[in-house]
Amino acid sequence: MEETRLTEHLKNRPAQLKEAKKDGAKIIGYFPGNYVPEEIIYASGAVPLCLIHGGNPRPADAGLSVMPQVICPFARAQIGERLLKENPYYDLIDMLVAPVTCQHLKKVAEIWEYEGKLHVFKLGVPHQHNNDFELEYFSDRLKALKNRLQSFTGNEITEEGLRQAIALYNRMRRLLRKISLLRRTASPPLSALEFIKLNHASFYADPVFMVEVLDSVYHELESKQAYASTDTPRLLLLGPNIGLGDYAILELIEETGAEVVIEEICEGIRYYWHDIENKGDIFQALTRGYLLDRIPCAFMRYSTRERLDFALKLIDDFNVSGVIWYELQCCETYDSEVYYFTEKMSERDIPVLVVESDYTTATGGQLKTRLQAFVEILKGVV
Amino acid sequence: MIELLKLLGFTAGDINTELPRVEKAFGKVGIIAGDIEAAKLRLKKYYDMELEGVRKAFRLCILEFVNSVLAREEGKKIIIFGFMIPGFETIGHVLMSKSREVYAAHLSWSFLLIMGCVFGKLEPILEAAEKKWLRAGAVTHCANLKTLLGIVDLGIVPRPDLMVTSGFMCETAPKTLDLLHELYGMPVCCWDTCLDRGPEDSSETKDRAGNLAKKNLRRLVEIIQEIVGFQITDDMLWEALEARSRFDDIISKLQRLIHSSDPLPLSPTHDNLWMILSCLTFSNETISDAIDTAVTLYRELQERVDKGLGAVPKGAPRVLGEMFAHHADPRLEHLACEMGIAIVVATAASTIRLDRTNKDPYEAMSVAWGGSHSTGLIQSVPMQMHVCKKMNIDGVLERYHAGCRTVAGDALVIQNAVKKELGIPVLLLEWENFDPRVYKHEEYKRRLEVFKTMMTQRAD
Amino acid sequence: MTKVVIIDNDEEIRARVINHTGAEHRRLANKVMEEALEQGGMAFEELTYVIATGYGRMTIPFADRNISELTCHARGVYHYFPGVSLAIDIGGQDAKGLKIKEGKLIDFVMSDKCAAGTGRFLEIIAAALGHKVEDLGSISSRATGKVTISKTCTVFARQEVVTRLSEGASLEDIVVGIHDAIAGRVASMVARLKEGPNVLFTGGVAKNIGVVRALERNLGCEVFVPDEPLLSGAIGAALLGKEITLKAQARGEPAHREKRHLDEATFFT
């Protein structure tokens, strides 16, 4: 029944936000990747809204009038959503906070900035952070974000307000973490699709309400009986991005008789493995949390090894027997890693299936065949 | 072979010392007798080999190529390669001026020119890379990266003691270097800034991101110091910048001369030559050689301009070509030239002059080359318009390099802006600036013909 | 094409049918099965286990199970050649590379959506040259040299071939170039499987000796072609069916579900 409450809430959310705007609230959109601290946005009284819709080829194709095919379908879909004007969220935003991350999303922000119909704030993310001056840079930029939001909303962002916001989002992260860890059991009480949908919801729902829902969901799942183990192959899903709506691959995996028990996706789910330390200098704490205490995205310098190690840890902790590498077409930084990852995985006898998506590939029969063959490898046929 | 070397600007004295080295280097990259003959034909077809300056320019490039291939064999104790990092030619200059035991050079520019443009044998290098992590396919990895990976993987260049890159244009170059580190054990380092400048930022922001680049560059040089075992002082850097300045200034003057002359005095196939020349690494000893080449080239071009000689007819439609001329295949530029289209300027990239009054060379270099001043389209589009007007451009050849997401993402925006604000024709061409395999003669000929007609019709 | 193979307990082939069913392959699968049963002299009910594989496997109502063609091919080539480590299958529509260890599929690659690197590529080029695709192999064996075809895309390769021919290049040398192009493409595709030395080549294109030689050149090792290069998938499926049956019998369970009829496939729209 939590699911129904959440669905209702999300159905009404655009209308709710429109009302809030009439009362003077600002809606601040931001791109995924877990580099934008929602806490700062929340503490300004504005509504943070992650632009993370994907999976539908229509907006991605609409984006082709602005950016060519070599730009990934997710980035093109963001452009397309604003062009098509069918998605209420994309119209509601008053400002975009664009983290300086991969070349594709950087370009979307640049184009919107150039078009001039939307306020754009580029949040500088240093692409290497071995040195103190780089961490200081990010800390400074977070302060600049705070100042910008203060002047944009007309509200002061107090330390108290920030601490409360951090506490709230920490709760959200903690609950998502706990729910995710339930999937370590032999019979996970929720599917990857359900978990990802919850995660996606957290980017759009009112955060206080979302935390309530997650708390309820956690207790409900925790009490669910863990069944005996099955021979369903347990998979790790790795990739750059699962957009809200980009679910065909997950559905196909389920149909083929395997289950994804854990994911590591840069721009698809909220990073929930660590909390932000809510004491001491706030901006240093946010810098540590959003830049250091997390798995880097593939575009980060010197990130490849760290990312592999984390994936191997997940494979161990979640008792995974196979990996699905789900990549958006033309994502050159992630694609570069395929060779390395598959080599290291094969050294450990872990089969990897590489799937490339332009948001239309899941409908073809070939992907089904490949998934079936993959499951047959993992499970055996006889 | 001797004929080829003569063609490439080697003098009689040169040839004695260099011939065995060139032969050895060619042997390592698989160049055979048949290739030499083919190369002579290609050079004569695509380049203006009558100009002594052009021959000498090729000579400088092939010398760097040979030096890089044979560096370890010839006893260099420390080898540092740079890839896609502006300013590395200055750092290399410092290193090689200080010590004979150090070799520093850019990759892959001279390789693209020699293996690609001159010999037409780049494909095996690209294929080697495609067998590793830069696979062929819809993902469209940049062929410049493939060239780097290919020459490393095939052992064409020795394993360096350090490879450095930058993150100003590209996330993929640092990524590939990270993988070279993981899979080949190669020490790597990256010079970064942060490309977050917005239009509302004042010059204070230039300091902010420039500051980051400056600190980052100091850190990079510290690492290099550890590897080479001697200190790199600010004075040494200024000395190198000074030594190069004469060379760089003549190359810039030369480009300006070409851009502003009608008829276009030299085929646009030579366009990438200037860029490659600027990236060659010299030392205090060898820089005079480079300056001599540049001076010769400039003198000869000036003579041409004075005589009104050109590679295309006077009054030919003037075209702005996005991206430099193809780095490994001169055919498109050659075709355009043959058809009487004057590609007068390649890429309207913004340049900032190095501030020689700045006491801090790191700051000067960061501000000039560190990419932090760019805000993206909101700045670059008006600049393109400005360049088009200033240079009386009749049409834009928007040949966007598909391998580069930064450049490709701009293509349609620029096309629309040019059409809307200038009303001149735009030829949109999905291109691969480093891969010779994409060339489609019939299609390009047809489209260039239409493009030219549209431009000449407007003039009438 | 629809293929049916029936084997007996001793793994001897009792029937083999290769039928061009065209677009109606799903609907007509039962007809091909009937033909096989007639050839083998047996009734449908005598079949212990039926496995469907390949395109359309999901819609065969009389199959006990469907298994991917990748797994079936791996089992089939292992039957011919127990030492096999890499199997390459080039059919009309697609190309596959299978990494095999002790008869089990452990990794694979499949070609992209485009025609290059598949039998279709050869069909199109053969037509452009005015020859039958079956003759390409013998044509190439008469060549004295090779005309390198640089274009990877089928459409452009076709143009290039026609141009070369009009420029006076020899037909035989061009065909060698075409074989090299397809072999090179497939060799690149399987490169990441890091194949061992024992390579088996199946599928319709394996009947073309010119492509076999080209593949050997591009892979740098010997390539073996079984006597019946079109049947490895069906044979593999049958052998897996036997294994499944034996395992079920060992557990004391029936191998296949009770009501199984040789019906035409029906479609629900």
Of A377, A378, A356, give the one whose Cα is nearest residue A367.
A356
Query: Which residues of chain A neighbour B201 with C-beta distances below 8 Å?
Result: none
The chain C residue lying nearest A342, using CA atoms, is C192
The chain C residue lying nearest B130, using CA atoms, is C188
- The reply to whether C166 touches chain B by the CB within 8 Å rule is no
CB contact under 8 A, C188 and B137: no
> Residue B71's CB: how many other CB atoms inside 10 A?
21
> Residue B360's CB: how many other CB atoms inside 10 A?
15
CB contact under 8 A, C150 and B136: no
* Separation CA B6–CA A136 (nearest Å): 56
Q: Nearest C-alpha of chain B: how many angstroms from A12? A: 35
CB contact under 8 A, A382 and C106: no
- Tell me the percentage of chain B whose pLDDT exceeds 70: 97
pLDDT, position C60: 84
Q: Are strands C86-90 and C95-101 parallel, antiparallel or unpaired?
A: antiparallel
Mean pLDDT of B160-166: 97
Sign of CA dihedral B398, B402, B404, B410: positive
- Is B115 in contact with B121 (CB distance < 8 Å)? yes
Separation in Å, CA A252 to CA A360, B38, B237, B431 = 13, 54, 59, 36
Query: Which residues of chain B neighbour A103 with C-beta distances below 8 Å?
Result: 170-171, 405-406, 409
What is the complex's ipTM, to 2 decimals?
Answer: 0.95
Q: In B103-113, which positions are buried (b, 16+ CB within 10 angstroms) versus exposed (e)?
A: bbbbbbbbbbb
Joined tokens for residue A305: 């090894």
Mean pLDDT of C95-102: 92
Separation in Å, CA C27 to CA B242, C57, C177, C230 = 80, 12, 39, 21
Residue predicted with more confidence, C159 or B93:
B93
Element (H, E) at B276: helix B271-279
pLDDT, position A225: 62
- Is B163 in contact with B151 (CB distance < 8 Å)? no
Q: Are strands A234-239 and A322-328 parallel, antiparallel or unpaired?
A: parallel
In the stretch 280-339 of chain A, residues with CB closer than 8 A to chain C read 339
Mean pLDDT of C49-56: 87
Q: Which residues contact C53 (CB under 8 A, 6 or more apart)?
A: C66, C67, C68, C69, C71, C72, C233, C234, C236, C237
CB contact under 8 A, A346 and C67: no
CB contact under 8 A, B131 and C191: yes
Q: Nearest C-alpha of chain C: how many angstroms from B389? A: 39
- Is A367 in contact with A324 (CB distance < 8 Å)? no
- Is A14 in contact with A27 (CB distance < 8 Å)? no
- Is B78 in contact with B101 (CB distance < 8 Å)? yes
Joined tokens for residue C185: 């493409």
Q: Nearest C-alpha of chain A: how many angstroms from C152? A: 19
* Separation CA A92–CA A83 (nearest Å): 13
Q: Are strands A259-265 and A234-239 parallel, antiparallel or unpaired?
A: parallel
Q: Nearest C-alpha of chain A: how many angstroms from B338? A: 30
CB contact under 8 A, B131 and C192: yes
Of A222, A331, A212, A185, give the one whose Cα is nearest residue A268.
A331
pLDDT, position A363: 65
Res C267 pLDDT > 60 = no
Q: Nearest C-alpha of chain C: how many angstroms from A376? A: 7
Mean pLDDT score of chain B, rounded to an integer? 92
C50 HSE (CA, 13 A, CB side): 25
The chain A residue lying nearest B416, using CA atoms, is A66
Instruction: Give the pLDDT band (50/70/90) at residue B388.
Output: very high
Separation in Å, CA A109 to CA A97, A280, B369, B452 = 9, 33, 23, 35
Query: Which residues of chain C neighbour A366 with C-beta distances below 8 Å?
Result: 94, 110, 113
* Separation CA A304–CA A104 (nearest Å): 19
- The reply to whether B446 touches chain C by the CB within 8 Å rule is no
The chain B residue lying nearest C194, using CA atoms, is B131
CB contact under 8 A, A340 and B183: yes
* Separation CA C265–CA B52 (nearest Å): 77
Q: Residue A235 pairs with which residues in a beta bridge? A: A260, A322
pLDDT, position C268: 36
Any idea which of A337-351, B329-343, C241-255 has the lowest mean pLDDT? C241-255
Joined tokens for residue B96: 């090689």
Of B120, B61, B117, B421, give the one whose Cα is nearest residue B269.
B117
A-C contacts at Cβ under 8 angstroms: 46
- The reply to whether A116 touches chain C by the CB within 8 Å rule is no
* Separation CA A377–CA A354 (nearest Å): 14
Backbone φ, ψ for residue A226 (5° rounding):
-85, 120
Residue B108, preceding peptide bond in cis (omega within 30° of 0) = yes
In the stretch 122-161 of chain C, residues with CB closer than 8 A to chain A read none
CB contact under 8 A, A126 and B212: yes
CB contact under 8 A, B437 and C150: yes
Return the partners of chain A (3 or more C-beta pairs < 8 Å). Answer: B, C
CB contact under 8 A, B142 and A332: yes
* Separation CA B446–CA B427 (nearest Å): 12
C130: exposed, middle or buried (C-beta count within 10 Å: 0-12, 13-18, 19+)?
A: exposed
pLDDT, position C269: 28
Query: Which residues of chain C neighbour A369 with C-beta distances below 8 Å?
Result: 68-70, 110
CB contact under 8 A, A68 and B400: yes
A172 HSE (CA, 13 A, CB side): 24
Q: Strand C223-224: give its sheet, edge to edge.
A: C104-110, C95-101, C86-90, C199-202, C223-224
The chain B residue lying nearest C191, using CA atoms, is B131
Interface test with B, best of C192, C218, C219 (most B CBs within 10 A): C192
- The reply to whether C17 touches chain A by the CB within 8 Å rule is no
CATH number of A21-161: 3.40.50.11890
pLDDT, position C257: 61
Q: Nearest C-alpha of chain C: how many angstroms from B131? A: 6
> Residue B383's CB: how many other CB atoms inside 10 A?
12
Return the partners of chain B (3 or more C-beta pairs < 8 Å). Answer: A, C
- The reply to whether B212 touches chain A by the CB within 8 Å rule is yes
| Mean pLDDT of each 10-residue bin along chain A, 382 residues long | 86 96 96 96 97 96 96 97 96 96 94 94 92 94 96 96 97 97 92 96 97 95 77 94 95 94 92 94 96 93 96 96 96 95 94 93 80 94 84
Residue predicted with more confidence, A44 or C5:
A44
- Angle (CA) C71-C75-C76 rounded to 5° is 115
The one-letter amino acid code at C75 reads R
CB contact under 8 A, A370 and C240: no
Any idea which of B197-201, B369-373, B376-380, B390-394 has the lowest mean pLDDT? B369-373
Query: Which residues of chain B neighbour C150 with C-beta distances below 8 Å?
Result: 437
Q: Nearest C-alpha of chain B: how many angstroms from A202? A: 27
The answer to whether the predicted template modeling score (pTM) of the entire model surpasses 0.95 is no
Of B324, B352, B360, give the one whose Cα is nearest residue B432.
B324
- The reply to whether C112 touches chain B by the CB within 8 Å rule is yes
Maximal C-alpha separation, chain A: 67
CB contact under 8 A, C152 and B137: no
Instruction: Give the pLDDT band (50/70/90) at residue B367.
Output: confident
CB contact under 8 A, A351 and C107: yes
- Tell me the percentage of chain C whose pLDDT exceeds 90: 30
CB contact under 8 A, A373 and C247: no
Separation in Å, CA B313 to CA A284, A380, B316, B317 = 64, 71, 6, 9
DSSP state for residue B326 in the 8-state scheme: P
Separation in Å, CA A239 to CA A50, A341, A353, B94, B116 = 18, 12, 12, 43, 35
* Separation CA A74–CA A56 (nearest Å): 9
* Separation CA A141–CA B211 (nearest Å): 14
Predicted confidence (pLDDT) per residue in C212-231, tens digit: 999 999 898 999 999 888 99
Residue recorded with tokens 């079109």 = C230
Q: Where are the domains of chain A?
A: 21-161
Q: Which residues contact B27 (CB under 8 A, 6 or more apart)?
A: none
The winner for highest mean pLDDT among B92-106, B246-260, C171-185 is: B92-106
The one-letter amino acid code at C203 reads G
Query: Which residues of chain C neighbour B436 with C-beta distances below 8 Å?
Result: none
pLDDT, position C266: 45
B-C contacts at Cβ under 8 angstroms: 13
Sign of CA dihedral C29, C34, C39, C41: positive
Mean pLDDT score of chain C, rounded to an integer? 85
Written as one string, the DSSP assignment of chain C is -EEEEEE-TT--EEEEEEE--GGGHHHHHHHHHHHHHHHHT--GGG-S--EE-STTGGG-TT-SEE--HHHHHHHHHHHH-TT--EEEEE-SS-EEEEEEETTEEEEEEE--SSSTTSHHHHHHHHHHHTS-GGGHHHHHHT-SS-------SHHHHHHHHHHHHHTT--HHHHHHHHHHHHHHHHHHHHGGG---S-EEEESGGGG-HHHHHHHHHHHTS-EE--S-TT-HHHHHHHHHHHHHHHHHHHTT--SS-S----PPP----
CB contact under 8 A, B130 and C188: yes
Query: Which residues of chain B neighbour A131 with C-beta distances below 8 Å?
Result: 215-216, 219
- The reply to whether B383 touches chain A by the CB within 8 Å rule is no
DSSP state for residue B288 in the 8-state scheme: H
Nearest to C156 among B130, B135, B440 (CB): B440
Mean pLDDT of C6-15: 86
